[in-house]
Structure 1
Amino acid sequence: MAVILIYFFIINSIGFFLIGYDKKMAVANKYRIPEKILLLIVFLGGIIGSGLGMLFFRHKTSKISYLLKFFGIIVIQILFFFLLKNHLN
């Protein structure tokens, strides 16, 4: 159980800091982190960190295409865990 908590702490920290870094690069008109990478972090469990980063840094909050993918991943993960829970019972 501790390993899972450590993993989620790390992946969410990475998500938070990548959103902040991407915002910094966007303001400076420099090389950006591809959305595929940001969404991969979300898919791997970084929903909370990435979501908080989006709110804290005010980044990606008005880009509808990104938000649809972000929330789509959340819905898929909820469905997956719901089905997994029902399968195990």
Structure 2
Amino acid sequence: MPVTAAALLCFLVAINATTFCLFWYDKHAARSGWRRIRERTLLSSAFFGGSIGAMAGRQVFRHKTRKEPFRTQLILIVLFQTIAVIACTFVAGGYLDAFAGLF
């Protein structure tokens, strides 16, 4: 079953919104003394497509902006995904043209 551009876009919107909300909840939990979300969970969510939501959540909520090695790991995930998208654009060529119809 091929993945359509619309399905991929829906997935990316959902995972980024979820990741953004995870950062909000973790910041709220930190201030309230509640049980926190593991850093591994936050990084996994970013790795599996939610890196934009993670970076936005970090900035909007001022959460985990100076925490090492979390900060470096998240930056490496974003860098890896950026390189992967660029590589796919050149390798796949015509397959990514499907996105042009969405805008």
Match of 2:31 among 27, 51, 71: 27
Aligned partner of residue 65 in structure 2, secondary structure: coil
Question: Among the aligned pairs, what percent are the same residue?
Answer: 33
Q: Following the alignment from structure 1 to structure 2, what is the Cα–Cα distance between the partners of residues 40 and 65?
A: 14
- Report the more deviating stretch, 13-22 or 41-50: 41-50
Q: Following the alignment from structure 1 to structure 2, what is the Cα–Cα distance between the partners of residues 87 and 31?
A: 44
Cα offset, 1:49, TM superposition:
1.0
Aligned length: 89
Larger radius of gyration: 2
Please list every run of 5 or more consecutive structure 2 residues that lacks an aligned counterpart in the other structure: 94-103
Please list every run of 5 or more consecutive structure 1 residues that lacks an aligned counterpart in the other structure: none
- Report the more deviating stretch, 3-12 or 73-82: 73-82
Q: Following the alignment from structure 2 to structure 1, what is the Cα–Cα distance between the partners of residues 10 and 91?
A: 26
- Report the more deviating stretch, 59-68 or 14-23: 59-68
- TM-score when normalising by structure 2: 0.77
Map 1:22-61; keep pairs closer than 5 Å.
22-61=26-65
1:80 has 2:84 as partner: yes
Aligned partner of residue 66 in structure 2, secondary structure: coil
Q: Following the alignment from structure 2 to structure 1, what is the Cα–Cα distance between the partners of residues 35 and 80?
A: 30
